C-alpha cells in the first residue's frame, strides 16, 4: 500500500508542474481576439476559396481553419451575449 502512495505522489507532482504554451495554443488565442467582423470576412473568403479549390487536401485544410474561425465567432458571440444579460435597467453593467 505504501508503494502505491509514493507512485501517486510522484504522479500528482508531475501534474502540478507548469505547462509551456505551444505555438498552436497561442495562435488559437489570437483567433479569439480578432474582431467578430474580421472573423466573418475570413470565413467568407475561405468559402470562396473552397468553392474553387480542386485539391481535397487543401479543401480539408481550409475546412479545418473554418471550423476554428466558427468556434472563435461563437465564443465572441457568447461573451457579448453574457455582457448584454448583465446590463441592469439603467443600461450599465452591474
Question: The cell 488559437 sits on which residue?
Answer: 28
Angle at which helices 56-86 and 23-33 pack, to 10 degrees?
50
Structural domains of the chain ordered from first start:
22-94 (1.10.287)
Per-residue pLDDT band at 59 (split at 50, 70, 90): very high
Phi, psi of 35 (to 5 degrees): -60, 145
Mean pLDDT of the chain: 74
CA pseudo-torsion sign 78, 83, 88, 90: negative
Residue 36 has pLDDT above 80, yes or no: yes
Is-above-0.95 flag for pTM? no
In which band, very low, low, confident or very high, does the pLDDT at 5 lie, cut at 50, 70 and 90?
A: very low
Amino acid at each position: 500500500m505504501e508503494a502505491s502512495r509514493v507512485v501517486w505522489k510522484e504522479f500528482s507532482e508531475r501534474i502540478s508542474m507548469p505547462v509551456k504554451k505551444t505555438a498552436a495554443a497561442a495562435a488559437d488565442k489570437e483567433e479569439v481576439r480578432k474582431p467578430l467582423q474580421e472573423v466573418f470576412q475570413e470565413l467568407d473568403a475561405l468559402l470562396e476559396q473552397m468553392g474553387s479549390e480542386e485539391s481535397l487536401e487543401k479543401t480539408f485544410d481550409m475546412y479545418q481553419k473554418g471550423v476554428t474561425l466558427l468556434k472563435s465567432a461563437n465564443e465572441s458571440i457568447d461573451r457579448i451575449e453574457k455582457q448584454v444579460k448583465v446590463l441592469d435597467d439603467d443600461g450599465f453593467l452591474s
